[in-house]
Amino acid sequence: MTINVLFAARADRWATYEAPLRAAFAEKGLQDVHLATDIPPEAVDYIIYSPNSAVQDFTPYTRAKAVLNLWAGVEGIVDNPTLTQPLARMVDTGLRQGMVEWVTGHTLRHHLNTDLHVLGQDGQWRSYVPPLATDRPVTVLGLGELGGACAEALAGLGFPVTGWSRSQKQIAGVTCLAGAEGLPRALETAQILILLLPLTGQTENLLDADRIARMPAGAVVINPGRGPLIDDGALLAALDSGQLGHATLDVFREEPLPPAHPFWAHPRVTVTPHIASETRPTTAARVIAENIRRGEARENLLYLVDRARGY
């Protein structure tokens, strides 16, 4: 029996995903798969999806067994009232490794103060000896697949790492805190703070003026998670006052970040264009194929979203 799989993402993504998806289906023994961008809704068995696609009403997809998100974040779809099918988020080894590399790179950049020399090529001999990693406490907010991997990698480099999450986690070499009572403790030691939380009603503006004030003076914020996790006005005020020393931001409330936004011109802000980690078609295709295999075998799907929590 043919398995009809609809690819519902931006048109330009089809060219990069078609071949890896077909190869992954073959690897999983899914031989009779019809993969296309234009399958009648009533015939679709699975939807490979990105929230910026044209598909926003899931009502016609009456036989679809699952919606398989191409993005790690699901805030753009999880509250869609027409979505009654199971929703799986993307947890991908390529995405995870990319995030670890970006976070580790920028953590080391701030720890070593490499901007002092990279940006200061003006003939001045600037002597700066950084502390060792063991003397630079780092906090990671969010200990899911991405946050947990980053926390573990930084601990492996010798940083004292504190992690915070909504529910208690256990990661070797990481001090794991949880819940409302754990957040202030996690912030109080954060000389470098990394945000990798999902965006929900509980996490929007989580880093506000009061919580920034709990951090050590001159601390650095690194945000590759979601733009609205931070109160932008509070962040700018803390940078201006010196409470924060720098912010490296990869995600924003509006993307692309408008040219007139004050982040662009602020001397203590580094903007990167949402590149911290990208879903890699080859590795993501294997995750998609495995979930379709599981769906056809009536096994539990991987990485199902808890609608009540929003991730």
| Contact call for residues 185 and 158 (beta carbons, < 8 A) | no
Whether 10 sits among the annotated catalytic residues: the reply is: no
SS3 for the chain is: CCEEEEEECCHHHHHHHHHHHHHHHHHCCCCCEEEECCCCHHHCCEEEECCCCCCCCCCCCCCCCEEEECCCCCCCCCCCCCCCCCEECCCCHHHHHHHHHHHHHHHHHHHHCCHHHHCCCCCCCCCCCCCCHHHCCEEEECCCHHHHHHHHHHHHCCCCEEEEECCCCCCCCEEEEEHHHHHHHHHHCCCEEEECCCCCCCCCCCECHHHHHCCCCCEEEEECCCHHHECHHHHHHHHHHCCEEEEEECCCCCCCCCCCCHHHHCCCEEECCCCCCCCCHHHHHHHHHHHHHHHHCCCCCCCECCCCCCC
Beta bridge partners of 246: 220
Q: Which entry of 274, 280, 293, 294 is annotated as an active-site residue?
A: 274
d(CA 147, CA 165): 9
d(CA 68, CA 83): 12
Whether 226 sits among the annotated catalytic residues: the reply is: yes
Q: Which entry of 211, 226, 246, 286 is annotated as an active-site residue?
A: 226
d(CA 166, CA 200): 12
d(CA 14, CA 32): 20
Q: How far apart are the first and last CA of the chain?
A: 33
The residues carrying an active-site annotation are 226, 274
